[in-house]
Amino acid sequence: MPVARTHSIALVGVEGHPVEIEADIQNGLPGLLLVGLPDTALREARDRIRAAIVNSGEQWPQRRITVGLSPASLPKRGSGFDVGIAVAILGAAGTVPAAAVDGVAFLGELGLDGQLRSVRGMLPAAAAAAASGFRRVAVPSANEAEAALVPDLRVLSAATLRGLLGWLRGDYRAGPGDAGVPDDLARLGEASGPVRLIEGGVLPVTRRPGGEPVLAPGAGGPGAGGPTGAGPDLADVLGQPAARRAAEICAAGGHHLCLLGPPGAGKTMLAERIPTVLPRLDPAAALEVMSIHSVAGVLPDRSPLLTAPPFCAPHHTASKAAIVGGGSGVIRPGAASLAHRGCLFLDEAPEFGRDVLDALRQPLESGEIVVARSGLTARFPARFTLLLAANPCPCAKGPGLQAACACTPSVRRRYLARLSGPLLDRVDVKVEFMPVSRGELLSDATFAEPSATVAARVEVARCRAAARLRDTPWRLNAEVPGSELRRSYAPAPGALVPLERAMDLGQISARGVHRVIRVAWTLADLAGVPRPAADHTAAALGLWLGVPR
């Protein structure tokens, strides 16, 4: 028998790589040999595939079967190759025509009864298949909505292996609402199970030079470009006008924020309401976020289209792998990547492990997390806004409270020293909360602005920054490298005088200077002026120095 070939996609992080599956059947002792760096889950596919084929009414070849996964140097992990291997074996046995599998990528896990089960990472896998030139992709019915987001790709959705094989042999039955199935192909035996062939492209995309899919402008889905609807509102935070202003600045420029204050002052309330003033995700960012959530297995099944910025708030007992990602087998993204293009909120930040907090220093600079393992390196996008909240001391009885704080100065210093200097050096805005009096609560209830009002100003400021950065790979002030700040985006003459004075006094590092200038640009965008002046720089410096070390 000739060698039969099918194709699938291997995921490394959120990057998909095409894999060619070859099946060869020769005379010899019956058995199935898998080669090509399969992991444990993939080696166990031998028994799953055999049971699925037999229980789907097919004949298992009682000869020696060799299945090769190419390229052999690429590690293959997970159960998403089951369907491709099963079709390749039946193709080598002569029961599936070779022309039917041409240009099709097969993705999915097989149950022992022949059911096609969903797998993680379907969206980036389908996008990688389209970028590699595949015209169609065969997926389990549970993953249909994810795969249908990818344009220029016809999605063949099947509930069972029997139904998929019937379709490949030329028998068709269209499910309700199918598109792209000719009328004369609506013949499939009742025992074959439903098959749906739909046109992808819910999110139109273009291609970057390297073939990476990028969503086209204007495809952000319903409500794109505005804040979220009903729910938490920034007007709920009363008595903290400086903190609300700081939240607006961070939302407009993508800057990191540290909140220090006693319990009940509104730190958590403010952090949870920052997403309500952020614009909806643009199409390119939406695709990145959905791909990460798909790999993590947290993308909603029925409505995978996400347009709201993610908000991730892990507990302080979370491990380093839970925050930055990892795993001994399949590498999964952590909370920092799940917060990509959104907010990562660390409440009670000093209670997190020191190594956990310091692990965030690299993604705060580069915007991505690189997880290296023996023979494998996975990259996850992680360009998030970091929100830190902390009490002033272990007893949490800050100034102004009736019960006096019993912590000594050394105890307070040791407590806040859990937030290392290098980490705080990367935080652009630091705000100290004070206890709120009854009078402040009553008076501020009239003047506190709702999220919709603040979101409108944030949107205008971001549009100004995007227009200024339109010929660059950056869209937010926080993303501009320090070298470009000096070369192409210098503030107005004399604007750096407050910074020069702070540097002479040793109050700020060189990294801090760049971060202060970025915040000054955001203040200028919010004020509607073309370049930051000295007062913007002074205000940005005060925000950077806001929390005592």
What would the two tokens of residue 143 be?
């993953």
**CATH number (domain holding residue 287):** 3.40.50.300
Residue 544 covered by a domain: no
- Residue 539: closest CA among 387, 431, 421: 431
pLDDT (0 to 100) of residue 160: 94
DSSP 456: H
Shared-domain flag, residues 179 and 98: yes
Quick check: 313 pLDDT over 90?
A: yes
Shared-domain flag, residues 408 and 294: yes
The amino acid at residue 217 is P
Instruction: Report the range of poorest mean pLDDT among 98-102, 224-228, 245-249, 462-466.
Output: 224-228
pLDDT (0 to 100) of residue 401: 53
What would the two tokens of residue 352 be?
């997190």
Classify each residue of 438-448 as buried b or exposed e, where b means 16 or more C-beta atoms within 10 Å of its C-beta: eeeeeebeeeb
Residue 182 covered by a domain: yes
The amino acid at residue 266 is G
Q: What are the backbone dihedrals phi and psi of residue 197, each rounded to the nearest 5 degrees, phi first?
A: -120, 110
Quick check: 93 pLDDT over 90?
A: yes
Distance CA 313, CA 439 (A): 32
- Residue 184: closest CA among 198, 170, 199, 165: 170
Alpha helices, DSSP H, located in 278-326:
283-296, 320-324
Shared-domain flag, residues 274 and 341: yes
Q: What are the backbone dihedrals phi and psi of residue 503, each rounded to the nearest 5 degrees, phi first?
A: -70, -40
The residues facing 109 across adjacent strands are: 117
Residue 445 covered by a domain: yes
pLDDT (0 to 100) of residue 207: 38
Quick check: 222 pLDDT over 80?
A: no
Quick check: 439 pLDDT over 90?
A: no
Shared-domain flag, residues 321 and 410: yes
Shared-domain flag, residues 173 and 289: no
Whether 270 contacts 388, CB under 8 Å: no
pLDDT (0 to 100) of residue 490: 87
Residue 44 sits in which domain range? 4-202
- For residue 211, name the pLDDT band (cuts at 50, 70, 90): very low
* pLDDT tens string 479-518: 999 889 888 998 989 999 999 999 998 889 989 999 999 9
Q: What is the DSSP string of 324-376?
A: H-B-SSS-B--HHHHTTTSEEEETTGGGS-HHHHHTTHHHHHHSEEEEEETTE
Pair type for strands 257-260 and 4-12: unpaired
pLDDT (0 to 100) of residue 106: 98
Shared-domain flag, residues 343 and 449: yes
* Mean local confidence (pLDDT), 194-210: 57
Q: Is the model more confident about 304 or about 103?
A: 103
Percentage of the chain exceeding pLDDT 70: 87
Quick check: 73 pLDDT over 90?
A: no
Residue 422 covered by a domain: yes
* pLDDT tens string 133-191: 999 999 999 999 899 888 889 999 999 999 999 999 987 544 444 444 434 333 333 33
Q: What is the dihedral of CA 440, 446, 447, 452, to 10 degrees?
A: 130
Shared-domain flag, residues 416 and 267: yes
Distance CA 189, CA 172 (A): 8
Quick check: 206 pLDDT over 50?
A: no
Q: Return the sign of the alpha-carbon dihedral for residues 179, 185, 189, 190.
A: positive
* pLDDT tens string 277-298: 999 998 888 989 999 999 999 9
Shared-domain flag, residues 147 and 287: no
* Mean local confidence (pLDDT), 254-262: 94
- For residue 230, name the pLDDT band (cuts at 50, 70, 90): low
* Mean local confidence (pLDDT), 330-341: 93
User: For 151-191, where are the E strands, in sequence order?
Assistant: 154-158
Give the residue from 445, 479, 513 where a domain finishes: 479
Quick check: 58 pLDDT over 50?
A: yes
Shared-domain flag, residues 257 and 195: no
- What Å distances lie between residue 64 and 93, 96, 132, 257, 314, CA to CA? 11, 19, 32, 62, 50
What would the two tokens of residue 157 be?
């959705």
pLDDT (0 to 100) of residue 201: 65
Percentage of the chain exceeding pLDDT 90: 63
pLDDT (0 to 100) of residue 412: 86
pLDDT (0 to 100) of residue 309: 95
Distance CA 34, CA 156 (A): 26
Shared-domain flag, residues 113 and 252: no
Q: What is the DSSP string of 185-210?
A: G----GGG--EEEEE--SS-EEE-TT
Q: Is the model more confident about 2 or about 1?
A: 2
Identify the three-state secondary structure at position 54. helix
Residue 519 covered by a domain: no
**CATH number (domain holding residue 87):** 3.30.230.10
* Mean local confidence (pLDDT), 373-387: 90
Residue 506 covered by a domain: no
Shared-domain flag, residues 172 and 298: no
pLDDT (0 to 100) of residue 543: 95
Distance CA 394, CA 415 (A): 7
Distance CA 79, CA 76 (A): 9
Residue 537 covered by a domain: no
pLDDT (0 to 100) of residue 215: 38
Give the residue from 479, 497, 532 where a domain finishes: 479
Give the residue from 452, 479, 506 where a domain finishes: 479
* Mean local confidence (pLDDT), 5-33: 94
Residue 408 covered by a domain: yes
Total of domains in the chain: 2
Q: Is the model more confident about 443 or about 528?
A: 528
Distance CA 172, CA 186 (A): 5
- Residue 154: closest CA among 140, 169, 138, 170: 138
Shared-domain flag, residues 184 and 261: no
| Average pLDDT over all residues of the chain | 86
Whether 513 contacts 426, CB under 8 Å: no
